[in-house]
Structure 1
Amino acid sequence: MKPRYLLARSAGDLAATDAEDLVQTLVRRANEVYRVVVKDPEKQSWRASIRTVLDVLLLAGLGDVMVLLEMSTLSSDARIDMLLVGSHPDTGELSAVAVENKQWSMLALNPRTRRITHPGAGPEDSQHPVEQVWDYCRALERQVPMLRGALWGVANLHNASTTAVAKIMPPVGQLRADVDGKRVRAFGDTTDRKEFAHFLSTVLSAEGARDHVRRIDRAHVRPSEEVMHAAYEAVRGRRIFPLLDEQRETVDKVLTLVEEGFTANSKQIFIVTGGPGTGKTVLALELLGILNGLRSSAAHASGSAAFSATLRKYVTGRYGGVSDLFTYFNQHRHREPNHLNVLICDEAHRLRKTSNLRFDKFDQRSDIPQIYELIQAARVPVFLLDPHQVVRNDEIGSPEEIRQAGLALGIPDEHIHHIQLQRQFRHNYCPEYIDWLEDLLGYKSAPRPWTYKGDFQLLRADTAQQMEDYLRAQVSLGHSARITAGYCWDWTHEYRGGRLVPDIRIDDWARPWNAFRGSGRYKIPDRTLWATDPRGFEQIGCIYTAQSFDWNYAGVIIGYDYTWAGDHWKSVNNKHRPTWGPKRHQLVRNIYRVLASRGRHGVVLYSTDHSTRDLLAELKIPPVQDALAALHEEHPKAAKPLSPLPVQDVLPW
């Protein structure tokens, strides 16, 4: 059984431990258990905060209560500073208190956002600590059902005055509606310590503390019945289109294997491939909803932060806990074998060789392939991918890689199922568009003329301003649209004077890349929400913020890294990847294929290269100026073209 916390000792034993020895032990254990490098601020937090809670426990006569340090929430990489474990003094049943330590000495509540302003908070302030510890309690309850109703929460603001703490709590400051004020509290500095001790004595006793810790250690971790039901309601309530043909075949096969009650030794792997718009994600969500409706533990995994964040926000809605089911590939690196019945690996072309993180030290790294970890995590792993969407050197997701991993783990070839999705949903107006696009970019045949005459609009622009004018007019009519670009310009991540830097400059047109971190003050979305927040239109997206999403209309700026050289495409290194390696041409081409397949109703192509623009004209792609004129004739109220703005006035709008 893998550890679920860094250290478990009685409060008395910890109080008798040298503070610096304790910190060094926690640093070593963090390396062993969570494979993380502990930074100085966290070490300082341990030095400053742990003792303040131990003193309160001793004051309350609870020296034999067990203290679990850095307890995992078991659903993400978030950790609970301290979990105090014992029995409830009234019932004798398991009782535990989650403690979130804060060293804030000065704090204030923003009444509009309910977030906390304090030194070092940054422009977005910090989550209310009471709401944070409440979220941790709920997450832990959802993963370990035996803790449901047995958890309490405390925000330990040991450097803040009692007066300051009172101003962020009801009735002065309102908490989120779902927070149970009877089960979660906040306490300040020395004048609040006796009240803190009294609270602990009403919900904790030391009786059976060690036995309860052993029960927590052995508890099977899985989503609670409540979460599985909520997932079923949330996902099934948002069905986009009915499953057809090979999609239904996939779902039926997976369900059959789950319902048969297979054993751990009869693992089955599904590899589902399909191009852009073939409904891979809808299939994944349908599976997630149905399986949780059957009370069969299933989770969704992705390699994209933007994709997972958007699913959490837009799929889960009001259903608490469902967001925990949307995970990242590397979160399964320490999962017990066959912990889940089904793990749905969406966007599996983004699989990496290992789950090692960029800043992992040498002794924290593992040679275990990420594919092995995902296959071992569930009885039925399902991989959904498009091999032509690999856009990085370290992405290895392909049907053959997954198949070979399964065989290497001893899974018979007949238990590895490959299903190909063919039916188009995103480009249902023009199913042949993807084939034409692949010919244009040099996947199969030579570029061929655009002869389509239906509702789907493929257009070419002679300038970036023309592209923006057309897309802005579509936005003014209620359509979604974004502009994306290849990595051919520098990227200034920080704000300057409250504005994003317009790094993408083409003649007299300049725009910024999407923000790395958003700003509520300046109404700029975070990179994880750029694709879905309407304000994202004012920035230019990249492959990582655009992949997995689509809009009514998409504009693509093809940079100097992929240009037409008369009879073939030429690729060169760009700003983002100065040394692509031998797969450069394939990866750059894949990037533009992904970007140019995001528009459901229309796509506008613009190249900074004159020869490439000539090619687009020779292929008889209609000019965007004509389409914009027709749009204004049909819709006089559509947004009119903007004059080019001086660079310093690009943002904010």
Structure 2
Amino acid sequence: MIIYQSTAKAFIEDTINEVLVDNLYKAYQEKIGRTTKNEIRSWENSLAKMSNVLYDPDIPGDVSVAIEFNIPNTSKRVDFIVAGNDGHNDNVMIVELKQWEFATKVDGKEAIVETALGGGIRETVHPSYQAYTYAALIKDFNENVRENQINLIPCAYLHNYFVQEDDPLTDDTYSFYIEKAPVFRKGEISKLREFMKKYIKQKDKIEAIVQIDQGKIKPSKSLQDALKNMIQGNEEFYMIDEQKVFFEEALSLFRQSMKDQKKRTMIVEGGPGTGKSVLAINLLVEIINQDRLAMYITKNSAPREVYAAKLQGTMKKTHINNLFKGSGSFTKAEENEFDVLIVDEAHRLNRKSGMFQNMGENQTKEIINGSLLSIFFIDENQKVTFSDAGSIEGIEEYANILGSEVIKRELVSQFRCDGSDGYIAWLDDVLDIRETANKNFIGLDYDFKIVDNPHDLLKLIKGKNKLANKSRIMAGYCWEWPKNERRNVAYHDITIGDFGMSWNLNATWAIDNASVEEAGCIHTAQGLEFDYIGVIIGDDMRYENNQIVTDYSKRAKTDQSLKGIKKLAQDNPEEANSIADKIIKNTYRTLMTRGQKGCYVYCKDKQLAEYFKIRIAYVEKEQQYLQMIAENPAGYTFK
């Protein structure tokens, strides 16, 4: 999606006539619905500088420009695009704009610099690295770019940045990325113009910006599919912005701990789809390639089973088992026995280990004790069982007890749900997990539907699954799972009227071709991702008296998620209801954020379905209103 598109001539005129901010604001309201004029004014200066760049007789006025292009499958946007032709090929220049005044070199961290951000001096990616990876992501995802042989030319323009002697911004450390994406500073407008004029000599032939904006988007890579290449050392995911910063910081902490033998604990907080698992696997690969003892840990067995199946044939089973461990594997670990332990889904850690949770002292403590460097990836809003005890507070507490330095970071960029932070926030608001400003998701390309019967849900998912075997049905655990029928595909555990489905028959349900006919639950879905997911909301969540109500008594007896809640309810029913309410809502939030491209939902409770439809209808009404504004802007006043 592009916020603003025009010719270079019209863009310059909008800037000179001081109407660019108003035009951008209207475009934002129509397409996104979440901005203020003050936010747009914050980059008005940068856009005025780009107007000066384009104000050159050798840059044709009919070449295309665009502002704020959303990179497919991410929440990131390209600042400025110029499209034209060099006499032979259509080219699209991707310009990353920065208002920085200075930068400091950061030693030992690839493509990282320090500058003033957010009211302080912070580490961030080098602008050339940012422009380069943005261009690489567009090329990777957009099939039109490849099919039409559109050249992407990235660069960065730091128009407020004063050139220094021995400038750290252009230090040899960053030469690889500067060669890929040149950086231009204050006073170098003529250099930027000359660079641009090599590629933009005339109007492009195929409307390249339109081709990019409306191009067919290749499905996102899923971690489970890319794992084999990652383990073999091949780059499968471009780490961008804070992902790259945290990756380099984690490697720096690793090198420090190996050198000085001091304990360190890194906590990385992030919501669904922020790339926690991708970072965890990349770190695992980098560290084991340096011949250090590292392991990837997750309580949930489903990702480990899928990863093992994907890696089968590439390494010995014992090697696979030594890379991927359950969270209860360290009850007897000696102090600093391992170099690095990387914990994914750290919110799922238990207090004690073993089938009866009677082994060891505390999983968090044992992991920190057993490693020089422990890295925890966590989202406390994805706790989905009564026994989930992992918490940021608990990690910090045990790290302090064991003398481990704590480093806390937060991932915010979205790489799932079509890169929409808005969908996650909207869902949190709808499910009453937290109040957000996202009452609607105007401009969201995410495919979200409420269907009226489960037959339609299965039909939709089976149709999507034909594309790449990456679509599945999931359900709340409200139907029993009889032990003697767990391998019987003909036995329907989930029955709704004349509709029937079996629970998943094996642990590799997420990748088995026939599994589209089976339903997964939170235990087989958490930690994995798909293109499209269909979610059946059972009787444990309904809508009444103008609010969402949860009922843990409707959960299946074979579900262990709420084991112990009834005993707590005898002593403290209010606390038990509060804990169960969070678990049930977190469960459906987790299921409804497994899909990269879309989510379809069937609700057993008809009033809950109507509530979802009303929230969607609100969006549709808002879109109709904004369309009226777009058609007759003089007739409305923005507030």
- In 1, the alpha carbon distance for the partners of 2:268 and 2:313 equals 28
- Please state how far the C-alpha of 1:249 moved relative to its aligned partner: 2.4
Question: Match of 1:493?
Answer: 483
- Please state how far the C-alpha of 1:263 moved relative to its aligned partner: 6.6
Question: Match of 2:379?
Answer: 386
- Please state how far the C-alpha of 1:500 moved relative to its aligned partner: 4.4
What secondary structure sits across from 1:476 in the alignment? helix
Question: Match of 1:543?
Answer: 522
Question: Match of 1:209?
Answer: none
Question: Match of 2:592?
Answer: 596
1:336-415 superposed matches below 5 A: 336-358=334-356, 365-366=358-359, 368-411=361-404, 415=405
- Please state how far the C-alpha of 1:410 moved relative to its aligned partner: 3.1
Match of 2:263, as an amino acid? K
Question: Match of 1:569?
Answer: 548
Please state if 1:552 is matched with 2:534: no
- In 2, the alpha carbon distance for the partners of 1:315 and 1:554 equals 24
Shift of the 606–261 alpha-carbon distance from structure 1 to 2, 3 Å rule, reads: closer
Question: Match of 2:300?
Answer: 304
Q: Which protein has the larger Cα radius of gyration, Structure 1 or Structure 2?
A: 1
Is the 1:301–1:327 Cα contact (8 Å) retained in structure 2? yes
Match of 1:444 among 430, 434, 438: 434
What secondary structure sits across from 2:280 in the alignment? helix
1:441-482 residue CA offsets vs partner (Å, 9 max, x unmatched): 102227965443453210110111111111112123445211
1:144-155 superposed matches below 5 A: none
1:355-383 residue CA offsets vs partner (Å, 9 max, x unmatched): 1332x7xxxx4451111110011100111
Shift of the 533–422 alpha-carbon distance from structure 1 to 2, 3 Å rule, reads: same
Shift of the 454–391 alpha-carbon distance from structure 1 to 2, 3 Å rule, reads: closer
What secondary structure sits across from 2:279 in the alignment? helix
1:96-132 residue CA offsets vs partner (Å, 9 max, x unmatched): xxxxxxxxxxxxxxxxxxxxxxxxxxxxxxxxxxxxx
- In 2, the alpha carbon distance for the partners of 1:496 and 1:567 equals 39
Question: Match of 1:151?
Answer: none
What secondary structure sits across from 2:381 in the alignment? helix
Match of 2:310, as an amino acid? Y
TM-score w.r.t. structure 2 length? 0.55
Match of 1:505, as an amino acid? T
- Please state how far the C-alpha of 1:509 moved relative to its aligned partner: 0.7
1:78-117 superposed matches below 5 A: none
Question: Match of 2:146?
Answer: none
Is the 1:269–1:416 Cα contact (8 Å) retained in structure 2? yes
Question: Match of 1:529?
Answer: 508
Is the 2:533–2:594 Cα contact (8 Å) retained in structure 1? yes
Is the 1:240–1:282 Cα contact (8 Å) retained in structure 2? no
- Please state how far the C-alpha of 1:611 moved relative to its aligned partner: 0.8
RMSD: 2.6
Match of 1:535, as an amino acid? A
- In 2, the alpha carbon distance for the partners of 1:370 and 1:434 equals 30
Is the 2:337–2:370 Cα contact (8 Å) retained in structure 1? yes
- Please state how far the C-alpha of 1:606 moved relative to its aligned partner: 1.2
1:536-593 residue CA offsets vs partner (Å, 9 max, x unmatched): 1111111000111111110111111111123221111122347633410000010000
Please state if 1:460 is matched with 2:456: no
Question: Match of 2:196?
Answer: none
Match of 2:289 among 290, 293, 305: 293
Is the 1:440–1:446 Cα contact (8 Å) retained in structure 2? no
- In 2, the alpha carbon distance for the partners of 1:293 and 1:496 equals 40
Is the 2:422–2:444 Cα contact (8 Å) retained in structure 1? no
Match of 2:451, as an amino acid? A
1:602-617 superposed matches below 5 A: 602-617=598-613
What secondary structure sits across from 2:503 in the alignment? coil
Is the 1:232–1:293 Cα contact (8 Å) retained in structure 2? no
Question: Match of 2:80?
Answer: none
- In 2, the alpha carbon distance for the partners of 1:495 and 1:232 equals 33
Question: Match of 2:407?
Answer: 417
Question: Match of 1:206?
Answer: none
Shift of the 296–448 alpha-carbon distance from structure 1 to 2, 3 Å rule, reads: closer
Is the 2:532–2:598 Cα contact (8 Å) retained in structure 1? yes
Match of 1:511 among 501, 513, 519: 501
Is the 1:270–1:418 Cα contact (8 Å) retained in structure 2? yes
Match of 2:445, as an amino acid? D
1:168-317 superposed matches below 5 A: 235-237=231-233, 239-260=235-256, 262=258, 266-315=262-311, 317=313
Structure 1: runs of 5+ lacking an equivalent: 1-230, 516-525, 624-653
Shift of the 496–379 alpha-carbon distance from structure 1 to 2, 3 Å rule, reads: closer
Question: Match of 1:475?
Answer: 465
Question: Match of 1:156?
Answer: none
- In 2, the alpha carbon distance for the partners of 1:335 and 1:497 equals 36
Match of 1:255, as an amino acid? L
What secondary structure sits across from 1:271 in the alignment? strand
Structure 2: runs of 5+ lacking an equivalent: 1-226, 566-575, 620-639
- In 1, the alpha carbon distance for the partners of 2:592 and 2:278 equals 20
- In 1, the alpha carbon distance for the partners of 2:618 and 2:528 equals 25
Shift of the 309–477 alpha-carbon distance from structure 1 to 2, 3 Å rule, reads: closer
Shift of the 253–496 alpha-carbon distance from structure 1 to 2, 3 Å rule, reads: closer
Is the 2:257–2:263 Cα contact (8 Å) retained in structure 1? no
Is the 1:460–1:622 Cα contact (8 Å) retained in structure 2? no
Please state if 1:330 is matched with 2:328: yes
What secondary structure sits across from 1:334 in the alignment? coil
What secondary structure sits across from 1:349 in the alignment? helix
- In 2, the alpha carbon distance for the partners of 1:304 and 1:544 equals 7
- In 1, the alpha carbon distance for the partners of 2:496 and 2:229 equals 48
Is the 1:236–1:290 Cα contact (8 Å) retained in structure 2? no
Is the 2:257–2:264 Cα contact (8 Å) retained in structure 1? no
Question: Match of 1:434?
Answer: 424
Shift of the 499–289 alpha-carbon distance from structure 1 to 2, 3 Å rule, reads: closer
TM-score w.r.t. structure 1 length? 0.54
Question: Match of 1:620?
Answer: 616
Is the 1:512–1:539 Cα contact (8 Å) retained in structure 2? yes
What secondary structure sits across from 1:601 in the alignment? strand
- Please state how far the C-alpha of 1:395 moved relative to its aligned partner: 0.7
What secondary structure sits across from 1:256 in the alignment? helix
Is the 2:265–2:407 Cα contact (8 Å) retained in structure 1? yes
